[in-house]
Chains A and B, each alone.
Chain A
Amino acid sequence: MANLKKMTTGAKIRAGFLALALILPALPFATDYFLHTVILIYLYMVLALGLNVVPGFNGLLDLGYVGFYGIGAYTAGLLTVHFGLSFWMIVPLAFLNGALWGVLLGAPTLRLTGDYFAIVTFGFSELVVLFLTNEIWLTRGPLGLPGIEPVSLDLSLFGGPRWDFIGEVPYYYLAIAMVLVTVFVMHRIQDSRLGRAWFAIRDDEVAAVSCGINLLTYKVFAFGISAAFGAMGGSFFARWMTFLSPDMFKFWESFLVLCMIVLGGMGNIWGVMVGAVVLVSLSEILREVLPLLGLPVEVRFLAFGLIMVLMMRYRPAGLLPIPAVAAQMRSGRVKRKKVKAAVGLSK
């Protein structure tokens, strides 16, 4: 901790949150239900960070993210059930399978612009759900895929013990590791030639081309990476839940993840994570509170809608906007139109 003084305020805050996250299971109020919810938050952080690449970094609206999440989950589920592969093998395989489908979908469709592209992605996620529901020989359809083995760490090959992940605590730390890897990758990309090319595409495609950036290549790349992280989240979900069914991957999930990044601040890694925290915990709180008020649980979707409307009115760039937009807002020079362009939904 010698260089604690050298850290910026932001870095200190982040280190504090990480420390809190690491000791959380040891705290007295950390029941299984509580930990389960926090794991869910971490899972959605990974998903939101993955999706963020497309609308946040590239300014393309993607409404079909859950399709890749589903592909990853079923990849993991089927490989476990049929081949008994270990989780540590499955994660890279699911990652690659997600990237593959991202590229397969992206390469022909990323020539479309704006809303047209959004519609294609929406259609894709519906196709995935239909496939999972109807190809009963492979996925058992609506019956779901039960009995997926939980994660285990088998070190017997090296003379070590075999450790099965039972209860929420091991998954809790596994989820933290997954978030850290994702944040690390996103953070590095953000400050690289690749990230700059993406931001250039987001801000002005014509100027990006004139700087020698091949639009299609970089968009397909972004889509592949985004899909890969979605699939990685899915593979964790499969081994954690040990049960999968097609209606876990309905359009609603894509929308929820998109809400997280809009709420948190599109394009900002930390903002996106805040968005995941807010929406997942709110969803759990409302699940408890609404029945007490005599309302059906589904009313929470209305609450999310209300939040989005209020956001658009009062903080159109999200809770933690990207630095440029934040600077413009501070200096009071921001125009509504500008912010929209920044978050990339106006194209």
Chain B
Amino acid sequence: MTILMDIRHLSKNFGGLQALKNISFEINRNEIIGLIGPNGAGKTTLFNCVAGVEKPSSGEIIFDNGERPVSIGGKKPEKVTSLGIARTFQNIRLFDNMTVLDNVKIGRHCRTKSTFLGAVARNRKQREEEESIRDHACQCLEFVGLKGLNDEIASSLAYGNQRRLEIARALATEPMLLMLDEPAAGMNPQESRNLMDLIRRIRDKGITVLLIEHDMKVVMGVCDRVVVINHGEWLTAGAPAAVRNDPGVIEAYLGTGAANAA
């Protein structure tokens, strides 16, 4: 199995607070990897470092998108997206005043080119590009199961569908790595099951998935491998079943003594 992303000795400080301390792990191509830890463990900070929203204080993030490995620590978020890393947000961030289809079309932004002159002249090249944007966006919507909702306003969708739309938008950027930040938050068991199915189908398309999730049913059910961090430090990593029974993990979640009780 080849390595898609190699995170080496990653640290991030916010003033005096060390949010991430010397984190290292690898993400293999085509796996679903879970990133778990108690609240405040630094999961979202790690996401933000990878996505380019935060600049790491030290350490490296090497991303190999098949051409040649590049270091993405400190690169701008829009650059990271065009390299092939897409994300969703913990609090859903959709373009509320736009239609479902337009939301996904924006995901195609980094893979298309036309600007002012193309827009005004509407020449053949631009029309073809517009056509391809539309087709691709429709495919993404169909893939996540939002077919037929193209013209709805994004903010009028049900909660679960908004999550799906966000995933569709991320998929429209043609990522190699998709990072999902608590996608199951607020979902009922049925919706979570559908989500797990969707995540597996995304992997089957050849996209690697990095998943932050608190819902252990989802994590245990879908992940090939789980990385645990606590207080910004790497705690353990391994198969879901092994991690679940790791005394260190139980202690991190439930406190000292809980490991013995369990």
Q: Which residues of A contact B (CB under 8 A)?
A: 184-185, 188-189, 192-197, 199-200, 202-204, 206-214, 221, 225, 322, 324-325, 327-328, 331, 333, 338, 341-342
Contacts and interface: CB of A to CB of B under 8 A. Distances in A.
A196 B116 contact: no
Interface stretch (B55-63, B86-94, B206-214, B229-237): B86-94
Given A192-B130, A193-B114, A196-B102, A210 B77 contact: yes
Given A199-B95, A210-B51, A210-B86, A324 B153 contact: yes
Interface in B150-187: 153, 155-156, 169-170, 173
Contact of A213 (B109, B116, B120): B109
B94 A207 contact: yes
A228 to B, nearest CB: 10
A333 B119 CA distance: 33
Contacts of B131: none
Interface residues of B, number: 43
B133 interface: yes
Nearest to B86: A210
B21 interface: no
A342 B169 contact: no
A333 B96 CA distance: 13
Contact of B119 (A192, A199, A200): A192
A160 to B, nearest CB: 28
A184 to B, nearest CB: 8
22 contacts: A188-B122, A193-B112, A193-B115, A193-B118, A193-B129, A194-B116, A196-B105, A196-B109, A199-B97, A200-B98, A204-B94, A204-B95, A208-B106, A209-B53, A210-B87, A210-B93, A212-B82, A322-B97, A327-B153, A338-B96, A338-B155, A342-B97
B110 interface: yes
Nearest to B111: A212
B118 A211 contact: no
Nearest to B114: A193
Contacts of A214: 76, 78
B78 A209 contact: yes
A206 B97 contact: no
B45 interface: no
B81 interface: yes
B109 A204 contact: no
Given A185-B120, A209-B77, A210-B87, A333 B156 contact: yes
Contacts, number: 118
B153 A211 contact: no
Contacts of A189: 116, 119-120
B98 to A, nearest CB: 6
Contacts of A202: 97
By Cβ-Cβ distance, the 10 closest A-B pairs, closest first, are: A212-B110, A192-B119, A203-B95, A324-B97, A212-B81, A207-B93, A209-B77, A324-B153, A212-B78, A200-B106
Nearest to A59: B97
A207 B170 CA distance: 10
Nearest to A333: B156
A193 to B, nearest CB: 5
B240 interface: no
A194 B112 CA distance: 11
Nearest to B96: A203
B34 interface: no
A112 to B, nearest CB: 18
A328 B155 contact: yes
B42 interface: no
B119 A203 contact: no
B37 interface: no
B107 interface: yes
A68 B77 CA distance: 33
A278 B106 CA distance: 35
Nearest to B117: A194
Nearest to B99: A324
Nearest to B81: A212
B181 to A, nearest CB: 11
Contacts of B114: 192-194
Given A189-B120, A192-B119, A331 B156 contact: yes
A156 B49 CA distance: 66
Interface string B69-81: 0000000111001
Given A211-B109, A211-B110, A212-B110, A325 B97 contact: yes
Contacts of A212: 78, 81-82, 109-111, 173
Contacts of B102: 196, 199
A202 B155 CA distance: 15
Contacts of B118: 192-193
Given A206-B89, A211-B173, A341 B78 contact: no
A95 to B, nearest CB: 13
Contacts of B105: 196
Candidate in A207, A212, A225 with the most chain B CB atoms within 10 angstroms: A212
A328 B154 CA distance: 11
Nearest to A341: B96
Given A192-B114, A204-B93, A327-B153, A211 B98 contact: no
A193 B109 contact: yes
Nearest to A215: B78
